């Protein structure tokens, strides 16, 4: 078993591109950084227990730190997400985030398809709260950027 030390997720490449195309700002802070492709890298915290087995199976709970802000259209488009948690249960795997700077409420943004994991990551689909986090521009179960674990 190998401990997962970071989670990389780009949210949705076309959404990031739209924010940038409209002159908006995308920021990663509080420990989150961006990779060369524009995705966000969140480091694991000390309380994270997520491990990856040699056969690719995930166990435990991944607790990551950092925040991402999208701001465009003079503030009419604002998206905030922070401190992702990846949970693996018998029912499946989900990614939740804090949806405000106060970090007092968590929402499930995507469901992960662990069975389809491959070299490009773990495919993800928007959950109900994820639809609303992104301004209801994408329907339920829209494929968004894969999650990559290191």
Q: pLDDT digit string (tens) for 95-144?
A: 999 999 999 999 999 999 999 999 999 999 999 999 999 999 999 999 99
| Residue 149 forms part of a structural domain | no
| Structure tokens belonging to residue 34 | 């961006």
Q: How many domains does the chain fold into?
A: 1
- Please give the Cα distance from 143 to 52 (Å, whole number): 23
| Residue 45 forms part of a structural domain | yes
| Residue 51 forms part of a structural domain | yes
Domain containing 55: what range?
Answer: 2-144
| Structure tokens belonging to residue 27 | 């920021």
| Residue 118 forms part of a structural domain | yes
| Residue 35 forms part of a structural domain | yes
Instruction: Tell me: pLDDT of 79 over 90.
Output: yes
Q: What are phi and psi of 25, to 5 degrees?
A: -120, 135
> What predicted TM-score, i.e. pTM, was given to this entire model?
0.96
| Residue 150 forms part of a structural domain | no
- Nearest by Cα to 7 from 84, 88, 116: 84
Residue keyed to tokens 């409209």: 22
């Amino acid at each position: 078993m190998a401990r997962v030390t970071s989670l990389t997720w780009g949210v949705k490449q076309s959404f990031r591109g739209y924010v940038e195309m409209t002159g908006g700002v995308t920021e990663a802070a509080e420990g989150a950084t961006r990779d060369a492709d524009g995705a966000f890298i969140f480091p694991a915290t000390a309380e994270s227990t997520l491990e990856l087995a040699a056969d690719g199976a995930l166990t435990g709970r991944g607790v990551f730190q950092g925040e991402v802000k999208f701001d465009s259209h003079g503030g009419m488009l604002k998206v905030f997400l922070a401190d992702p948690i990846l949970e693996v249960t018998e029912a499946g795997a989900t990614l939740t985030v804090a949806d405000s700077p106060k970090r007092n409420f968590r929402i499930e943004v995507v469901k992960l398809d662990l069975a389809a994991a491959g070299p490009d990551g773990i495919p993800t689909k928007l959950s109900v709260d994820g639809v609303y986090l992104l301004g209801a521009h994408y329907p339920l179960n829209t494929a968004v950027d894969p999650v990559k674990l290191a």
